[in-house]
């Protein structure tokens, strides 16, 4: 008989959280702390969403995605998770850029970037200071008409080398382009410039294990391999429950950490929303996805320190089309040393490239596998410039594509970076359309990445708690 992953689950909860990305995990934990009964449903066998990992034979562990986030993650984890988690967040001090225009290493903070842009790129100190001040002063309520391209033209006209330095890492972090609103760049960039780039020492397996333990201490009912098929909505537009693994479970509120469009059009059904809202939701653009190559060295093999993150490109100038091209010319290498995951004496490299779903979606299986292998070979050829004996040292190597991310996360089109900016407004309007229905996740670029997802989960969990306290939130 098939295992019943809902065995022992109650028939009704205060809140059902759909999906266990960082926004879903954080919402579940905060609501349970507040005394709410919470059911967390994850369709996969592992928690974490994009912030997760996988293992391979030979003791190899690979972190999924590019794990770099601003210093604000420490404060958020200390306040909404545990001191143990917060204390394991460490700075990545070796950020490298290698491309036809420049070669440099930086701690990726305002002071060091100012030094580089003034001394190496010859930009006046006053201009650099004004740019940083302008970016730092941006907020969500500012004019959304100015594009990032216009922001750069204002301060660094004709300087595609400066634009590349300032823009390329953010594009890899959340899929931003020069045509996105300047405020989305300014807010995210300023967060990083505060203190630099940080990561979780010990790997996401340790992080998610600690998060799971904290949720269990707070009473969250966690269920894996539990795919939600439907959000149940009453005739007066109020959530009443979910159908999961063929079983109905009632609830007073739902926090969806699933893809925004999947939440509206697949789980809830567009018939439950105003036509104008459906039109607005339809117009939300999904952000781009990723291809990754996971490379593990044989036990006992190592390489010299290459930095922590390396932005490599053979393309001249910052070019989003080139970044997205299937003919890869730009990669970000994440280097994992034994100190990155203490107790795991292995050297691992993960290569990330931005990608379009449509370039991979409809390939015949034999061509798809051949293209993946070509991606692996091209990555090893590139990596050999930094790790000369890499092919002799490799013990395991494999690739993932937007199809892979769609399969494991259920995100439409494998969108690794959620939606474009307009998705945030639609996400926030959900409870105005259906009482008790909330959404949090990577939307609107600002709320993408680790810190954005955690903080959006905090915001929405507070809204859910207020709703459950209100007199009209009938069970």
Mean predicted confidence (pLDDT) in 286-291: 92
User: Of all residues in the chain, what percent carry a pLDDT higher than 70?
Assistant: 98
Give every CB contact of residue 97 below 8 A, 6+ residues apart in sequence: 103, 104, 105, 106, 164, 165, 168, 310, 311
Q: Say yes or no: 190 and 113 in one domain.
A: yes
Mean predicted confidence (pLDDT) in 30-42: 98
- Between 448 and 463, whose confidence is greater? 463
Residue 146: inside a domain: yes
Residue 426: inside a domain: yes
Mean predicted confidence (pLDDT) in 17-32: 98
Using the 3D structure, point to which of 195, 226, 243 is the last residue of a domain: 195
Q: Note the pLDDT tens digit of each residue in 48-83.
A: 998 999 999 999 999 997 678 999 999 999 999 999
Q: How far apart, in whole angstroms, are the C-alpha atoms of residue 432 and residue 222?
A: 28
Q: Say yes or no: 220 and 184 in one domain.
A: no
Using the 3D structure, point to which of 135, 164, 195 is the last residue of a domain: 195
Residue 475 pLDDT > 50, yes or no? Answer: no
Residue 94: inside a domain: no
Average model confidence (pLDDT) for the chain?
A: 94
CATH number at residue 33: 3.50.50.60
Q: Say yes or no: 223 and 188 in one domain.
A: no
Q: Is the pTM of this model over 0.85?
A: yes
Q: Note the pLDDT tens digit of each residue in 368-386.
A: 999 999 999 999 999 999 9
Q: Say yes or no: 39 and 188 in one domain.
A: no
Q: Say yes or no: 187 and 236 in one domain.
A: no
Q: Say yes or no: 229 and 183 in one domain.
A: no
Q: Say yes or no: 185 and 230 in one domain.
A: no
Q: Note the pLDDT tens digit of each residue in 296-353.
A: 999 999 999 999 999 999 998 888 888 899 999 999 999 999 988 888 889 999 999 9
In this predicted structure, which of 123-137, 221-235, 367-381, 440-454 has the lowest mean pLDDT? 440-454
Q: Note the pLDDT tens digit of each residue in 227-262.
A: 999 999 999 999 999 999 999 999 999 999 999 999
Residue 272 pLDDT > 50, yes or no? Answer: yes
Residue 305: inside a domain: no
User: Of all residues in the chain, what percent carry a pLDDT higher than 90?
Assistant: 85
Residue 371: inside a domain: no
Residue 390: inside a domain: no
Residue 239: inside a domain: yes
In this predicted structure, which of 73-87, 227-241, 271-285, 447-461 has the lowest mean pLDDT? 447-461
Using the 3D structure, point to which of 195, 227, 244 is the last residue of a domain: 195
Q: Say yes or no: 124 and 142 in one domain.
A: yes
Domain around 115: 109-195
Q: Say yes or no: 132 and 164 in one domain.
A: yes
Q: Say yes or no: 184 and 248 in one domain.
A: no
Q: Say yes or no: 420 and 279 in one domain.
A: yes
Number of domains in the chain: 2
Q: Residue 139: which pLDDT band, with cuts at 50, 70 and 90?
A: confident
Q: Say yes or no: 163 and 119 in one domain.
A: yes
Residue 180: inside a domain: yes
Residue 440 pLDDT > 70, yes or no? Answer: yes
């Amino acid at each position: 008989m098939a295992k019943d992953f809902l065995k022992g689950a109650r028939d009704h909860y205060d809140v059902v959280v759909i999906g266990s990305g960082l926004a879903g995990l954080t919402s579940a934990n905060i609501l349970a702390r507040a005394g709410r009964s919470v059911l967390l449903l994850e369709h996969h066998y592992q928690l974490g969403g994009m912030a997760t990992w996988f293992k391979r034979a030979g003791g190899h562990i690979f972190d999924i995605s590019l794990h770099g986030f601003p210093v604000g993650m420490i404060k958020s984890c200390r306040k909404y998770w545990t001191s143990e988690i917060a204390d394991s967040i460490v700075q990545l001090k070796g950020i490298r850029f290698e491309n036809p225009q420049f070669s440099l290493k930086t701690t990726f903070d305002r002071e060091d970037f100012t030094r580089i842009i003034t001394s190496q790129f010859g930009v006046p100190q006053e201009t650099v200071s004004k740019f940083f001040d302008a970016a730092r002063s941006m907020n969500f309520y500012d004019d959304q008409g100015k594009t990032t391209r216009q922001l750069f033209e204002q301060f660094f006209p004709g300087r595609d080398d400066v634009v590349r330095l300032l823009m390329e890492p953010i594009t890899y972090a959340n899929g931003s382009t020069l045509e996105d609103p300047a405020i989305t760049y300014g807010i995210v960039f300023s967060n990083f410039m505060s203190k630099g780039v940080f990561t979780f020492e010990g790997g996401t397996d340790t992080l998610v294990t600690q998060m799971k333990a904290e949720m269990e201490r707070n009473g969250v009912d966690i269920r894996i391999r539990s795919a939600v098929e439907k959000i149940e909505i009453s005739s007066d537009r109020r959530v009443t429950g979910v159908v999961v693994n063929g079983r109905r479970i009632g609830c007073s509120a739902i926090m969806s950490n699933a893809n925004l469009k999947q939440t509206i059009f697949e789980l809830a059904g567009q018939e439950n929303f105003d036509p104008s809202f459906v039109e607005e939701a339809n117009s939300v653009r999904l952000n781009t996805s990723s291809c990754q190559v996971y490379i593990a060295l044989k036990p006992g093999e190592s390489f010299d320190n290459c930095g922590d993150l390396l932005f490599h490109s053979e393309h001249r100038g910052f070019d989003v089309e080139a970044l997205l091209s299937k003919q890869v010319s730009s990669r970000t290498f994440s280097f994992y040393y034994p100190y990155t995951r203490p107790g795991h004496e292995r050297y691992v490299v993960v290569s990330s490239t931005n990608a379009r779903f449509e370039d991979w979606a409809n390939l015949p299986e034999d061509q798809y596998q051949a293209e993946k292998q070509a991606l692996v070979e091209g990555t090893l050829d590139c990596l050999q410039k930094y790790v000369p004996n890499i092919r002799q040292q490799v013990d395991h190597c494999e690739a993932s594509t937007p199809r892979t991310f769609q399969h494991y996360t259920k995100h439409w089109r494998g969108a690794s970076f959620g939606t474009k900016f307009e998705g945030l407004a639609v996400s926030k309007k959900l409870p105005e359309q259906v009482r008790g229905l909330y959404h949090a996740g990577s939307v609107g670029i600002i709320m993408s990445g680790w810190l954005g997802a955690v903080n959006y989960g905090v915001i929405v969990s507070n809204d859910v708690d207020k709703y459950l306290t209100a007199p009209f939130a009938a069970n």
